Structure 1
Amino acid sequence: MKQNFLIAIFSILVLILIIVLWISNTYNQLVKLNENIKTQWGQVENVYQRRIDLIPNLVNTVKGSANFEKNTLKQIVEARAKATSFSINRNDLNQDQVNKFQKVQDHLNNSVSRLLLIVENYPNIQSTKNFFELQNQLEGTENRINVERNRFNDKVNSFNTYRNQFPKIIIANFFSQFQEKGYFQSQVGSKKSPIIDFSN
């Protein structure tokens, strides 16, 4: 009787130990995946900052090269100011927050794209070395942004897939930092080319 009791106690302790080890392993894996997302978010912010830093040089080059449409330049300066003033908490990268960040960045991107399309009618601007170099840097930055956003989405996918598996989702739901993360998504209407109207 006493031996059966000891075996039962030992079995319960072993079971508890296995459960504790599994919970610890799941928690540690969630921490690792969550930190990977934060690190990648830093890379995303870094490339967006690079674009924001290039814009004043682009605007000044265009200003200095022609009597240019002041309204377009003003819109770019305002969009840049809005983009630099908006920040997102790395610990709260839910879909709503990522969408807000993306909306602000898309507005800035649209303004810069409009500028580049309008500049096509000003050959003297296009021919300046500074403008050409800035345009190349901007194109390279846009490619970097795309790469970093894709990497961010990959990290989010790994995290969300892991956290949403049963029974890991039970552990994840106990901790606020392990809530489902948001993805970057295509800009609404991104398949349509922008319409530029010079009649106004």
Structure 2
Amino acid sequence: MITGLVVLLVLGAVVLFWGVGIYNGLVTARNAFKNAFAQIDVQLTRRYDLIPNLVEIAKGYLKHERETLEAVIQARAAAVSGLAAAKARPGDDAAMAQLGAAESGLAGALGRLMMVAEAYPDLKANQNMMQLSEELTSTENRIAFARQAYNDSVMTYNNKREVFPSNIVAGMFSFAHAALLEITEPARREAPKVSF
């Protein structure tokens, strides 16, 4: 009888340690994707801080392109709002979709600004404009790397959360699904087709 009780206690301890290990792994994975999102936050904030300076420099040269400049400012405001929502709820489907859509709009507006800037040689040659453009390009690369790290962390977390037997512990402690940050590229213009 004592041997049976000892075996039962040992088995209970094994199950308890197994459950604690799974729980701790889920918490670690959740914290990893939240940390990865914090890196995106840093880079997006840097980008948002660069944009007003870029627009101010361009204003002097692009007097006839007011709607392009306004579109960039509006897209930046929407992106800042999307980032605030995503910061409040990293991994939330709706928040990440809002941020992704806002970032897509901002990328399109910035692309149009850069295309317009190409038509103004004085603006293109402006030292401040060149420096800001270079910083913006560098920041875009950092954002891409941070987004990849975030999406990798979310995938790891979601995998841990969904596989058996971790899904039992995840369900017991309400570990929610985390959403990827997907940013669609703005529509590219097709080159005109020439035929003879």
Q: TM-score, normalised by structure 1?
A: 0.88
Give the Å deviation of 1:65: 2.9
Greater alpha carbon shift after TM alignment, 62-71 vs 50-59: 62-71
Asked if residue 183 in structure 1 is aligned to residue 166 in structure 2, the reply is: no
1:82 is matched with 78
The 8 Å contact of residues 33 and 158 in structure 1, kept in 2 or not, is answered as: yes
Closer/same/farther in 2, CA of residues 191 and 54 from structure 1, 3 Å limit: closer
Q: Please identify runs of 4+ aligned residues in structure 1 that moved more than 6 A.
A: none
1:71 is matched with 67
- C-alpha distance in structure 1 between counterparts of 2:30 and 2:88, whole Å: 10
Greater alpha carbon shift after TM alignment, 156-165 vs 93-102: 93-102
Matches within 5 A, 1:109-128: 109-128=107-126
Number of residue equivalences: 189
Q: Deviations over 1:137-180 (max 9, x none)?
A: 1111111110000011111111112221101001011223x212
Structure 2 alignment gaps of length 5 or more:
192-196
Give the Å deviation of 1:194: 3.6
Give the Å deviation of 1:192: 4.8
Q: Which amino acid aligns with 1:184?
A: L
Closer/same/farther in 2, CA of residues 195 and 69 from structure 1, 3 Å limit: farther
1:11 is matched with 7
2:129 is matched with 131
Give the Å deviation of 1:89: 4.5
Closer/same/farther in 2, CA of residues 151 and 160 from structure 1, 3 Å limit: same
RMSD: 1.9
Task: Determine which structure has the larger helix proportion and give its number.
Answer: 2
Q: Which amino acid aligns with 2:46?
A: R
Closer/same/farther in 2, CA of residues 101 and 191 from structure 1, 3 Å limit: closer
Q: Deviations over 1:43-84 (max 9, x none)?
A: 001111111000000000001234241011111111111222
Closer/same/farther in 2, CA of residues 25 and 31 from structure 1, 3 Å limit: same
The 8 Å contact of residues 38 and 90 in structure 1, kept in 2 or not, is answered as: no
Asked if residue 61 in structure 1 is aligned to residue 26 in structure 2, the reply is: no
Give the Å deviation of 1:113: 0.9
- C-alpha distance in structure 1 between counterparts of 2:103 and 2:146, whole Å: 14
Identity among equivalent positions (%) equals: 30
Matches within 5 A, 1:163-178: 163-176=161-174, 178=175
Q: Deviations over 1:94-134 (max 9, x none)?
A: 33321211111111111111100111111111011011111
Q: Which amino acid aligns with 1:193?
A: R
Out of 9, 14, 19, the position equivalent to 1:23 is 19
Structure 1 alignment gaps of length 5 or more:
none
